[in-house]
Amino acid sequence: MPWKGEKDPYKVWVSEIILQQTRVDQGLKYYENFIKAFPDINALAKADDRTIYKYWEGLGYYSRCRNLIETARHVSFNLGGKFPEQYEEIKKLKGIGPYTSAAIASFAFNQKYAVVDGNVFRLISRIFGIDKPIDSTEGKTFFATFADKLLDKKNPGVYNQAIMDFGAVICKPVPSCQQCPFKNNCHAFKNDRILSLPVKTKKIAIRKRWFDYILFEYQGKWAIRQRNGKDIWSNLFEFMLIESNSELDNKEQILTEARKRGWLEQTGFETGSYSEIFKQQLTHQRIEGRFVKIMLQQKPQLPEDVFWVRKTQIRNYAFPKFINQFLLKSELN
């Protein structure tokens, strides 16, 4: 991996943020493209938001990208472009918690801070037979303290990388125990507890949402808007959205909802295609919905944040995966 042995705190930071909620095989290409486009923190700070989000498109958890932008501009504009070197100062940066701060401090500056990610939680809990829930405050504190005691104080960066790699390659959720040199001393292996460790107490409640998107077309342009606030996909772009508690039965129901919002008159438009159902599973949410195209004879009264983009330019904007699934199959592709 290109970030292995990396000492540039900027590149360490970018790789760790990308890999926070992303598999290595998926994140690798994003990392390479991101570093090529923004080779240092000043280049990232100077880039416009839309361009940065386009490079992040498809990675999900877009708050990571928002925090990346804010931190890059803070370091570039307020700290003279010099990334902080001390753990506590690194941890003050937006989007950087104890884990990422420890990773940057140890990998880039060889400081004595243990990195505790999901791989480390899993490895330590199995080998030592620790039942404390890793998603509890008590458990997190215990594991952080325990990991710090195990840390090789002479080579913290190498040690941290090694234990993380071992958890990712050998002590996986379904581990390769026969390849593991610790198996004769591993509590989980000797006591048939491999799949019951680590312990988690919280069950994820999945929220179901139904999205109907209307693609308004007027004189070769499409109406889009940028999502904001604290909901999913913040800062990404979308078409006009009608959200419902459950599936709307047909196009007419969608048109009725559009009229209620003042987006449509009774006449002056033609209804186009009505898509199949598209789906996207997020960590805490399941999104399902359809897309309907409406060709307009006159411009409607849409909200002020809506703007019109030519179909040939639509790919210049970053959309959530849910919409990109549709775009791949539509005439916009």
The predicted model scores a pTM of: 0.83
- Specify which of 9-18, 201-210, 239-248 reaches the highest per-range mean pLDDT: 9-18
CATH number of 114-202: 1.10.1670.10
The yes-or-no verdict on residue 91 having pLDDT over 90 is yes
Enter the DSSP assignment of 188. H
pLDDT of residue 51: 96
Rounded Cα gap, residues 331 and 333, in angstroms? 5
Q: Alpha-carbon torsion 236, 239, 245, 249, what sign?
A: negative
Cα-only R_g, the chain:
24
- At residue 238's C-alpha, the angle toward residues 318 and 65, to 5°, is 40
The yes-or-no verdict on residue 331 having pLDDT over 70 is no
For 257-316, what is each residue's pLDDT tens digit? 999 999 988 888 898 888 999 999 998 899 999 999 999 998 888 999 999 999 889 999
**Alpha helix positions (H), the chain:** 9-19, 24-37, 41-46, 49-56, 63-78, 87-91, 98-109, 118-128, 137-150, 156-169, 187-190, 251-260, 321-329
Residue ranges of domains in the chain: 1-110, 114-202, 207-329
Q: Known catalytic residue: 16?
A: yes
For 312-326, what is each residue's pLDDT tens digit? 899 999 999 999 999
CA distances from 201 to 77, 131, 133 (A): 43, 11, 6
pLDDT grade, residue 54 (50/70/90)? very high
Q: Does domain 1-110 have CATH number 3.40.50.300?
A: no
pLDDT above 70: percentage of residues in the chain: 99
The yes-or-no verdict on residue 194 having pLDDT over 90 is yes
First CA to last CA across the chain, in angstroms?
Answer: 32
* Contact (Cβ atoms closer than 8 angstroms) between residue 99 and residue 19: no
Q: Given the residues 16, 85, 88, 89, select the one marked as catalytic.
A: 16
The yes-or-no verdict on residue 160 having pLDDT over 60 is yes
User: Average pLDDT, whole number, for the chain?
Assistant: 92
223-247: average pLDDT: 93
Task: Look at the domain 207-329 and name its fold.
Answer: Nucleoside Triphosphate Pyrophosphohydrolase (3.90.79)
* Contact (Cβ atoms closer than 8 angstroms) between residue 294 and residue 265: no
pLDDT of residue 332: 54
For 122-141, what is each residue's pLDDT tens digit? 999 999 999 999 999 999 99
Pairing between β-strand 285-296 and β-strand 207-218 as defined by DSSP bridges: parallel
pLDDT of residue 291: 95
For 105-124, what is each residue's pLDDT tens digit? 999 999 999 999 889 999 99
Residue with tokens 């007419």: 252
pLDDT above 90: percentage of residues in the chain: 77
